[in-house]
């Protein structure tokens, strides 16, 4: 029963990792870009929403909406500053490094808005219940269902709409798409805004289950999202989901059976093992066959 | 009535003058051929008109409106589309998705970007199925473009150029690498496009095709037009024979 409980906890929290990894995968799998500033943009949007709340007291729904909007705008800003100028085939490394600089900038902006270092974040549905001895928090269950729902939305947009089609076309050959009349820069700005909104929903749910925001949240998001993405398979969308859930399972079991101090060691050992045995990640065989993606893997 | 007018068009690459003072006018609904030896500036001419390069001098008019300086995607918006000398398709999209990416809504249909991006219209479905029919690719609609044979890829490229509902299509060596039978099919397709009211600008090395379909031909050599007129007079022209075969 104890094992079941840890696995359940791991899966529920792992769904948050899945959401973060999906946002990374949208940009990596589709745009072939790594956005290191992503976590910081989520932190800044959360801190900004709290700041707006402290002035206008917009309430929890208001905080949520402000987070969505500001995250979309911040991500478009990041795209315009460090990805748009390097949108050719060989800009992957340059744009990754410049996104590192933007990461620092956004983190500094957040600490400017968060002078006390830590602020409490409003939580919603703080109840919990038991199913046959299994302890379940309602907000975590909610997080899990939202993660499932948003994964569906994600796949729908990418594979069933014109926009998703254009996005995949632009990612395959941006120059060709432009010659065929596709406004590539608008498509790619929208992809960043989309990943920002997506990440902001994830960040809101994670922060309200934790009920506090610290300056390390941005780094934490980037790290967990990237690790989950690498575990699951770089650039593969189903892989991002599996990687996130897997990461959650590993962490909760290690914390329960070995202790919290072994959590990161074990996570990275397993990541190392998977990257050695299967370099593309769990679901990554397909992406490795794609030479273009393989040559841009970082 | 002229649809495209090119006035004293020049394009320099560093010290090389790839296109040198080119003048021509294409009438609505005709098939215009541009021929010339390798390196005579044919592809550069297309690339300049389609917005890939800025002209160094001169101007380009589409239906009387100046279009120099437009970006490639804006050129598609004003009604120009093209195929490529080396086949360029979205290899990891299927055949109908390739057509779909190139699809443009009607100019007079003011639907928002939202419905363009997230909705699907019946006119779109209808056009795509017509195009599949036109290119003879109905049975392969759901195959990846990278799995098509060479001839099928060429046909898909032509259909894709039509998907944006252009007034003027640039065909950059559409018959390269085709056998006799395929060239014959291509000729039929070009005539069908002309019958739909689309003006065609044909750049080609396969003389059999150019001489048979074009209404008028301009011959380029070293970036300059050395002859122009109907196919027979161009074939008989002394300077053309010199350019191709030497003196």
Nearest-CA residue of chain B relative to A181? Answer: B73
pLDDT in tens, B186-216: 889 999 988 888 999 999 887 888 888 888 8
A156 CA: distance to closest CA in chain B (Å): 10
Total domain count for chain A?
1
pTM for this model (two decimals): 0.79
Q: Check B88 against A173: CB less than 8 A apart.
A: yes
Q: Check B81 against A178: CB less than 8 A apart.
A: no
Residue A295: pLDDT over 50: no
Q: Check B72 against A181: CB less than 8 A apart.
A: yes
- Taking the Cβ of residue B194 and every Cβ of chain A, the question of whether any pair is shorter than 8 Å is answered with no
Q: Check B91 against A172: CB less than 8 A apart.
A: yes
Is A234 within the bounds of a domain?
yes
What is the predicted pLDDT for the residue at A284?
62
Nearest CB to A161 within list B76, B90, B117: B117
- Domains annotated for chain B, with CATH where assigned, are 1-79+166-247 (3.40.50.300), 92-164 (no CATH)
Q: Check A180 against B160: CB less than 8 A apart.
A: yes
CATH of residue A169's domain is 1.10.3470
Contacting B residues, span 44-63, partner chain A, CB-CB under 8 Å: 50, 52
Is A123 within the bounds of a domain?
no
Is A243 within the bounds of a domain?
yes
ipTM above 0.85, yes or no: no
Residue A178 domain boundaries: 2-117+135-296
B101 CA: distance to closest CA in chain A (Å): 6
Nearest-CA residue of chain A relative to B82? Answer: A180
**What share of chain B in percent tops pLDDT 90?**
2
- Exposure of B38 by Cβ count < 10 A (0-12 exposed, 13-18 middle, 19+ buried)? exposed
A84-117 in b/e form (b: 16+ CB < 10 A) is bebbeeebbeebbebbeebbeebbebbeebbeee
What is the predicted pLDDT for the residue at A43?
93
Q: Are B137 and B159 in contact (CB under 8 A)?
A: yes
Is A251 within the bounds of a domain?
yes
Q: What is the mean pLDDT of chain A?
A: 83
Compute the distance between CA of residue A16 and CA of residue A147 in angstroms, rounded to an integer: 7
**Mutation site, A87, A180, A185, A291, interface B, largest B CB count within 10 A:** A180
The residue whose two tokens read 């569906």 is: A152
Q: Check B52 against A169: CB less than 8 A apart.
A: no
Per-residue pLDDT band for A27 (boundaries 50, 70, 90) equals confident
What is the predicted pLDDT for the residue at A298?
38
């Amino acid at each position: 029963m104890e094992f079941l409980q840890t696995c359940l906890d791991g899966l529920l929290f792992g769904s948050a990792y899945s959401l973060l990894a999906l946002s990374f995968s949208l940009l990596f799998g589709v745009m072939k870009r790594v956005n290191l500033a992503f976590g910081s943009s989520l932190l800044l949007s959360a801190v900004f929403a709290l700041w707006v709340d402290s002035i206008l007291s917009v309430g929890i729904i208001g905080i949520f909406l402000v987070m969505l909007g500001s995250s979309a705008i911040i991500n478009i800003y990041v795209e315009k500053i460090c990805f748009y100028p390097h949108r050719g085939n060989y800009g992957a490394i340059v744009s990754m490094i410049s996104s590192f600089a933007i990461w620092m900038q956004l983190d500094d902006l957040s600490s400017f808005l968060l002078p006390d270092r830590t602020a409490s974040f409003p939580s919603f549905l703080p109840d919990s219940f038991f199913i046959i001895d299994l302890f379940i928090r309602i907000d975590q269950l909610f997080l899990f269902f939202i993660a499932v729902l948003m994964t569906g939305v994600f796949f729908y947009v990418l594979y069933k709409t014109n926009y998703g089609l254009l996005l995949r076309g632009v990612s395959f050959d941006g120059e060709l798409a432009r010659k065929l009349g596709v406004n590539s820069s608008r498509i790619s700005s929208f992809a960043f805004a989309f990943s920002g909104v997506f990440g902001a929903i994830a960040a809101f749910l994670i922060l309200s289950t934790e009920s506090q925001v610290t300056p390390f949240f941005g780094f934490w998001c980037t790290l967990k999202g990237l690790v989950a993405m690498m575990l699951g398979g770089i650039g593969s969308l189903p892989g991002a989901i599996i990687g996130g859930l897997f990461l959650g399972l590993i962490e909760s079991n290690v914390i329960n059976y070995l202790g919290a101090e072994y959590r990161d060691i074990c996570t990275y050992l397993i990541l190392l093992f998977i990257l050695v045995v299967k370099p593309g990640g769990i679901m990554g065989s397909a992406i490795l066959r794609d030479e273009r993606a393989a040559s841009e893997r970082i | 009535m002229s649809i495209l007018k090119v006035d004293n068009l020049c394009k320099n690459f560093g010290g090389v003058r790839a296109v040198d003072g080119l003048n021509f006018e294409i009438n609505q609904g005709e098939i215009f051929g541009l021929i010339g030896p390798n390196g005579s500036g044919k592809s550069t001419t297309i690339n300049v008109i389609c917005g890939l390069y800025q002209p160094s001098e001169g101007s380009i008019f589409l239906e009387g409106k100046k279009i120099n300086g437009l970006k490639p995607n804006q050129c598609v918006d004003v009604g120009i589309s093209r195929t490529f000398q080396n086949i360029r398709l979205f290899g990891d999209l299927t055949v109908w998705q390739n057509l779909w990416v190139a699809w443009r809504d009607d100019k007079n249909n003011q639907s928002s970007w939202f419905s363009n991006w997230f909705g699907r219209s019946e006119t779109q479905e209808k056009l795509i199925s017509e195009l599949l029919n036109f290119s003879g690719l109905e049975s392969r609609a759901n195959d990846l473009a990278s799995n098509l044979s060479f001839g099928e890829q060429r046909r898909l490229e032509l259909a894709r150029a039509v998907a944006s509902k252009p007034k003027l299509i640039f065909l950059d060596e559409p018959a390269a690498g085709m056998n006799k039978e395929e060239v014959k099919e291509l000729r039929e397709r070009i005539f069908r496009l002309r019958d739909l009211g689309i003006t065609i600008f044909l750049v080609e090395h396969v003389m059999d095709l150019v001489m048979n379909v074009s209404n008028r031909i301009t011959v380029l050599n070293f970036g300059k037009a050395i002859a122009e007129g109907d196919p027979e007079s161009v074939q008989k022209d002394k300077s053309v024979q010199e350019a191709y075969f030497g003196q």
